[in-house]
Amino acid sequence: MRAWITDKCPEQLKLPFALWTAGVVRELIRRRLGKHLGLSTVQLYLLKWGFTPQKPLSRATQRSDAAIRRWLEREYPKIARRAKREKALIYWGDETGVSNQDQVGRSYAPKGQTPVVRRTARKLGTSMISAVNNRGLMRFMCFKGALNAGLFIMFLSRLIKGASGKIFLIVDNLRVHHAVKVSKWVAAHKGEIGLFFLPPYAPEHNPDEYLNNDLKQQLKNLPRPDSREELVQATSSVLRSLQRRPDRIKAYFHHQDVRYAA
């Protein structure tokens, strides 16, 4: 039973469910072993076997585990060796959106008195692109709307401006990252920057994702903005504060899925 639950999804065992709940495990026991157990008994077995209820992670069906292993074992080490030879700094980049409609965190209040957060009914939003380095460096740029080739090139220009050496930037496979205009710009500045790409559908291996999460967690604790300008100001303020805390940026690289980049 432990092997079935660990290695298979319910659908793979011809059960019409997506998650392993105690009820689904009970049904599997009935079908495979012909035993009818109470729900509380199944829950006790799961605890005894070392299983706990957890929120599952989402993974795209299009992702290739083989491509991700190749990236971790061969492609990234090759980039790291090249960066060492060329004395380049490796950054990981990503984009995210911030909205005043993002989920609000929890707040203590007397029992039975649900706290109320007042905010404008208008939906406000801004976009942000950033890059982090395992030495604790971070760069960012806020912008309006969706990222396009011109905005991405503007960010790349800022990234190399004032850099002490060459920059290697690793990003995901967003279409704009592969735009012809971007490729031509990078080729024209090949002495200053190199652009590399993570495997498709592998965001958990991008350390910059932890900056995005950190930003949104901190914004939850700030007063709700009444205008886009206030939202941009709050976002920039949090990011500038993080820039002054290199140890916090370095800590992003301690997470299991991104330790390879530390």
| Residue range 93-111, pLDDT digits in tens | 999 999 887 765 677 778 8
Q: What pLDDT sits at residue 65?
A: 87
Q: Does the pLDDT value for residue 61 go beyond 80?
A: no
pTM of the model: 0.79
CB 192 within 8 A of CB 161: no
Token output for 109:
């209040």
Kindly tell me if the per-residue pLDDT of 41 is higher than 90: yes
109-143 tens-digit pLDDT: 788 888 777 777 788 899 999 999 999 999 999 99
- What pLDDT does residue 110 have? 85
In 117-227, which residue ranges form alpha helices assigned H by DSSP?
Answer: 149-160, 180-188, 208-220
Task: Give the integer Cα–Cα distance in Å for 17 and 8.
Answer: 12
Find the length of the chain.
262
Do the Cβ atoms of 187 and 163 come closer than 8 Å? no
**Mean pLDDT along residues 159-171:** 94
**Which tokens is 25 given?**
């495990």
The pLDDT of residue 114 is 81
Taking only the tens place, the pLDDT of each residue in 192-244 is: 999 999 999 999 999 999 999 999 999 988 888 889 999 999 999 999 999 99
- Can you give the residue ranges of every domain in the chain? 2-48, 65-101+122-261
CATH class of segment(s) 65-101+122-261 = alpha beta
Say which residue the tokens 């930037």 belong to.
Answer: 169
Q: What is the pLDDT of residue 60?
A: 65
Cα 225-214-153 angle, rounded to 5 deg: 85
